[in-house]
């Protein structure tokens, strides 16, 4: 058919009631909506293979709205290559927006909104393709979320091809801070198989009441992002950075860099929501760096206090915390430690931190996640004058810290 533009009638609503209504048409080009709406209304039997638009290549949808209230579809788009969404509004979308994309996807100036009469199930989530580039820029997710997947951007089932990348920037999610506007993960990078993504970048994003799952890439950078947890947090936690991959076969993590980010818990964050900075599991050998981040913690009475930086098992080879500021942490004396390593980090370097609040201890080196030898532990040039640690640092049997150095006037006991 060649490349061409299809123009929809301004303000019109096009109802698509069939499964596989548009499938491998050969059309390439742009569908320009001029403010029109595509409404997907399939009501037949549900299946994980049910989608409305399949197999398109090199197609751009621009200046239109997409809605699928109670549509009995698994996703709106499936098996589409180089699909682009520009100036698109999504509302009342029960299925996923995209799924099982072989290669390349971009969305620019996409808005998820609530129209006030939302269906029981709200999803509209995006799938990270197996190959090529995933790009989400200038976005706003301002609707409820309770779909079949736990994340707005999901790479849980992605079988990564060499060179695949993820770029997310200049957006926000759940910032209206309303009931139901919360999700387990804003982004969930948990690819399956042995090949990692080449790089993942999350930059200039504001997120309320959700987390980022970050694994399976040679390099992950989270830069200048804000995380806020409020009374409407129903995500199950208030931990912005989760390093975890549930797949049996999973790619290695090369490096995770978190810098210039801000995390805030408000006083209304529910007491049953677990709190912390990072949990880390099952990615041995990585390099993890936290640089110049700030955390304003205001835990609720009875808050479930976890360790702030917690390595559970499969420890990184190097973990560097430099310039992070923990502000007004309140009373976290029931936590295990500010830094907890159940699996021993090869080189743990903590420098130029500023800490205020009450904690159980600075460091707990435990053996429940494997223990082992730590080649170097350094605490240096930190400001702990505003902090209270109710107990000494602890090193359990089964853990050897070969070299320790402390230049902090607060005194670290090994």
Give, for all 414 residues of the chain, the pLDDT tens digit. Answer: 567 899 999 999 999 999 999 887 778 999 999 999 999 999 999 999 999 999 999 999 999 999 999 999 999 999 999 999 999 999 999 999 999 999 999 999 999 999 888 899 999 999 999 999 999 999 999 999 998 778 999 999 899 999 999 999 999 999 999 999 999 999 999 999 999 999 999 999 999 999 999 999 999 999 999 999 999 999 988 999 999 999 999 999 999 999 999 999 887 888 788 888 999 999 999 999 999 999 998 777 777 778 999 999 999 999 999 999 998 787 888 888 999 999 999 999 999 999 998 899 999 999 999 999 999 999 999 999 999 999 999 999 999 999 888 877 544 443
Looking up tokens 């549930």 gives 246
Q: Which residues pair with 91 in a beta bridge?
A: 67, 113
Report the C-alpha dihedral over residues 389, 391, 392, 397, rounded to 10 degrees.
-140
Alpha-carbon separation of residue 89 from 113, 183, 206 (angstroms): 7, 20, 19
Predicted local distance difference test score (pLDDT) of residue 411: 46
CA distance 54 to 43: 18
Looking up tokens 């009373």 gives 331
Under 8 Å CB-to-CB from 174, ≥6 apart: which residues?
141, 142, 145, 181, 182, 183, 207, 208, 209, 210, 232
Alpha-carbon separation of residue 371 from 215, 308, 341, 346, 366 (angstroms): 22, 19, 8, 11, 6
- Predicted TM-score (pTM) of this structure: 0.95
Name the token pair of 78.
């499936």
Predicted local distance difference test score (pLDDT) of residue 171: 98
Which of 161, 98, 101 minimizes the C-alpha distance to 131?
A: 161
Name the token pair of 372.
């082992």
Which of 259, 253, 311 minimizes the C-alpha distance to 289?
A: 259
């Amino acid at each position: 058919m060649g490349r061409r533009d299809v123009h929809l009638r301004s303000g019109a609503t096009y109802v698509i009631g069939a499964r596989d209504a548009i499938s491998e048409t050969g059309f390439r080009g742009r569908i320009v909506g001029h403010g029109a709406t595509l409404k997907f209304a399939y009501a037949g039997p549900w299946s994980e293979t049910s989608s409305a638009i399949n197999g398109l290549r090199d197609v751009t949808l621009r200046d239109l709205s997409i809605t699928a209230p109670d549509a009995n579809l698994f996703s709106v788009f499936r098996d589409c290559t180089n699909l682009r969404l520009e100036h698109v509004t999504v509302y009342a979308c029960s299925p996923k927006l995209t799924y099982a994309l072989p290669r390349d996807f971009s969305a620019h100036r996409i808005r998820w909104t609530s129209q006030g009469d939302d269906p029981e199930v709200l999803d509209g989530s995006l799938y990270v393709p197996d190959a090529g580039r995933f790009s989400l820029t200038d976005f706003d997710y301002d609707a409820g979320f309770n779909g079949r997947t736990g994340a707005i951007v999901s790479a849980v089932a992605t079988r990564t091809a060499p060179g695949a990348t993820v770029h997310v920037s200049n957006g926000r999610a759940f910032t209206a801070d309303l009931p139901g506007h919360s999700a387990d993960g804003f982004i969930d990078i948990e690819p399956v198989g042995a090949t990692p993504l080449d790089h993942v970048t999350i930059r200039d994003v504001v997120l309320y009441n959700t987390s980022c799952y970050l694994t399976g890439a040679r390099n992950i950078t989270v830069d200048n992002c804000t995380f806020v947890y409020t009374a409407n947090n129903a995500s199950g936690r208030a931990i912005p950075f989760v390093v975890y991959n549930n797949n049996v076969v999973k790619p290695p993590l090369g490096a995770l860099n978190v810098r210039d980010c801000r995390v805030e818990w408000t006083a209304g964050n529910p007491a049953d929501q677990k709190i912390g900075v990072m949990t880390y599991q099952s990615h041995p050998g990585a390099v993890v760096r936290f640089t110049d981040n700030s955390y304003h913690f205001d835990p609720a009475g009875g808050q479930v206090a976890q360790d702030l930086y917690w390595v559970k098992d499969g420890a990184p080879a190097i973990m560097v915390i430099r310039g992070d500021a923990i502000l007004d942490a309140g009373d976290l004396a029931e936590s295990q430690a500010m830094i907890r390593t159940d699996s021993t980090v090869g080189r743990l370097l903590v420098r130029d931190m500023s800490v205020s609040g009450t904690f159980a201890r600075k460091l707990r080196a435990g053996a429940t996640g494997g223990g082992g030898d730590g080649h170097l532990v350094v605490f240096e040039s930190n400001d702990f004058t505003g902090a209270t640690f109710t107990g000494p640092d602890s090193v359990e049997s089964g853990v050897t810290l070969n070299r320790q150095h402390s230049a902090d006037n607060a005194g670290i006991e090994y």
